[in-house]
Amino acid sequence: MTLKLDKVNRGPHLSTLVASSISREIAQGRLKPGDQLPTEQALATTFGVSRNVVREAIARLRSEGRIWSQQGRGAFVTDANNPTVLTIDYEALQRADSFRSLFELRGILEVQAAALAARRRSDADLAAMGEALAGMRAAPYGSVAWLRSDLEFHRSVAAATRNTYMGQFLVFVSERVRESILAAGNQQKSDDMARITLGEHERILAAIRASDAEAAQMAMRDHLAGAALRVGLHESDAVAEPAPVPEAASPVRHSRLRKAIRKQAAG
Amino acid sequence: MTLKLDKVNRGPHLSTLVASSISREIAQGRLKPGDQLPTEQALATTFGVSRNVVREAIARLRSEGRIWSQQGRGAFVTDANNPTVLTIDYEALQRADSFRSLFELRGILEVQAAALAARRRSDADLAAMGEALAGMRAAPYGSVAWLRSDLEFHRSVAAATRNTYMGQFLVFVSERVRESILAAGNQQKSDDMARITLGEHERILAAIRASDAEAAQMAMRDHLAGAALRVGLHESDAVAEPAPVPEAASPVRHSRLRKAIRKQAAG
DNA sequence: TAAATCAGGGTTGTATGATAACACGACAAG
DNA sequence: CTTGTCGTGTTATCATACAACCCTGATTTA
């Protein structure tokens, strides 16, 4: 048997600890928006570390948008909640309303992406989509290869929009959705589903190939509606079928750690 | 291969530039997942900065999950190309095509948000929008107060969608757009603009108040087209065409599904 | 009197050198 | 072949110094 040691016993860097500590101060309101942080030297002495470590911590918080600093003046807590990075809490996604929100957002992006792709796609884009579709045909429904090809199809649609951020955002959102679905583990598989899903993709590709933006939108919308059904969401208020909801044995990846950190922050 | 540090020395910190540069290497595939980065000393010399700056940049990339480092070994590109955070490169936004992409993405989100808001807005939402509009009326065009009220208006529209992530994403994207516009500083102001912009907002609010999703879409689309003109974008395809919004339901009140998922999460 | 200028201290940004902690391979001893 | 030791390279941290910049207040000037 193989030992399963904790992958990262790597003690957190001092800068991480300092950053967490400052972050906690902000979260708990002891440092209010607009407040000026102590000077780097002061922080260094109070934490018992070098000013260098403090600077790395501040650099991190600054990159997260929590604080901003100006040479010659000091560092301040950001007034508006204006993060420069966008994160999605894994745990929050376990709640149905959050999941629905994200799914809806994904739908908006995908549908518009399909329309843009229909207008701007190149032959290379079409080839990439076709290849991804072939990959889906070759793989069993729901397998890792199938999922990868599915993702690849949507990624190539996003790429065909010629909009860098569209691809970035879409991949980001889709990944979160996919993770959440995998964690729920209530996907039911059947050969019918494979056929139906493939058909949906083919219609999308056909519309994009024909440069028919409206048709591409519709096809993508249908596809997402179908996908929603397949994962147990329904567009109407009613839940379609009580999803078989058992065992989610190993889904939570970092939740324990996150919980621990949050507890620390709360204390 | 020193990059043009001298040119952009002012503004963002050196560590930001270094982080952007490394980040770009990863994004463009010159640094593949699993690859080891050059040593800090090597990076410092190639970039022409101190090792300290390189360390701050690496600390930032590490906090973003792009790379991982271990004492005594080196820094490596994270295997999974599945970032848990979404960031927008500051440098890239200075390029016109990137800016246009982001503006387009913002348009897609805003237009669809307007439609959703028209369907789901509450009286409180309407009040918030009206208040923001009043703030714009009271402030001189382009002033800080005006910009804040403008942002507040769009924020309250996003809030009215009842979609948490819609608000998060929209605020995130809008902030990046706004920053970029401020950095460019090529905004020309006039009283006419104030009147026109106010009128655009009023039409949006009226449509949302009337629960007319299509009109809200159109109004928002007009507004964004006008905004594009005002900041010097004249490509008409910078704003996506309005699209039929999927029949979407209120994201709340799915007790069965929610219960099921909660059960899963608990197990 | 009022405005402009300038000097000084305080703070962040960057550079530089040094030391400790750690990983890894080479190499000799058993 | 295994084990222990050592040397080298890298990251993590420390310490110090200087540059760039902001702010304030005194001083000078109109």
Those nucleotides of strand C lying less than 7 Å from any protein Cβ are 9-18, 21-24
Which pLDDT belongs to residue A222? 94
Task: Out of A15, A59, A101, name the one closest to residue B251 (CB).
Answer: A101
Question: What's the whole-number mean pLDDT along residues A169-189?
Answer: 79
Per the structure, the residue whose CA is closest to nucleotide C13 at C1' is A71
- Report pLDDT digits (tens) over A199-220: 999 999 999 999 999 999 999 9
Whether A100 contacts chain B with CB within 8 A = yes
Tally the C-alpha atoms within 13 A of residue A262's C-alpha that lie toward its C-beta.
8
Q: Are residues A106 and A202 in the same domain?
A: yes
Q: Are residues B52 and B112 in the same domain?
A: no
Q: Which has the closest alpha carbon to A103: A194, A180, A9?
A: A180
Burial class (CB in 10 A: 0-12, 13-18, 19+), A123: exposed
Question: What is the pLDDT of chain A when averaged over all its residues?
Answer: 78
d(CA B101, CA A105): 18
Supply the CATH number for residue A31's domain.
1.10.10.10
**What is the band of B188 on the pLDDT scale with cuts at 50, 70, 90?**
low
Q: Which has the closest alpha carbon to B14: B45, B57, B74, B67?
A: B57
With 90 as the cut, is the pLDDT of residue A135 above it?
Answer: yes
Question: What's the whole-number mean pLDDT along residues A111-134?
Answer: 96
Number of domains in chain A: 2
Q: Which has the closest alpha carbon to B19: B72, B75, B70?
A: B75
**What is the band of B244 on the pLDDT scale with cuts at 50, 70, 90?**
very low
In chain A, the percentage of residues whose pLDDT exceeds 70 is 78
Q: Which residue of chain B is at minimal alpha-carbon distance from A10?
A: B70
Which pLDDT belongs to residue A234? 63
Supply the CATH number for residue A135's domain.
1.20.120.530
d(CA B145, CA B190): 16
Query: What tokens appear for B166 in the block?
Result: 């819609």
Whether B63 contacts chain A with CB within 8 A = yes
Lowest-pLDDT choice from A76-85, A162-171, A237-246, B57-66: A237-246
Whether A53 contacts chain B with CB within 8 A = no
Q: Do residues B213 and B118 make contact, with C-beta atoms less than 8 angstroms apart?
A: yes
Query: What tokens appear for A255 in the block?
Result: 């939740």
Q: Are residues A159 and A220 in the same domain?
A: yes
Number of helices (H), then strands (E), in chain B:
10, 3
Q: The domain containing residue A34 runs over which residues?
A: 14-77
Q: Are residues B139 and B53 in the same domain?
A: no
Q: Which of residues 177-206 of B touch strand D (CB under 7 A)?
A: none
- H-type helices in B34-122, by residue range? 40-47, 51-63, 96-120
Residue A65 C-alpha, separation from nearest chain B C-alpha, in angstroms: 11
Lowest-pLDDT choice from A11-15, A137-141, B72-76, B257-261: B257-261
Most confident region among B25-29, B123-127, B259-263 by mean pLDDT: B123-127
Please indicate whether residue A230 or residue B117 has the higher confidence score (pLDDT).
B117
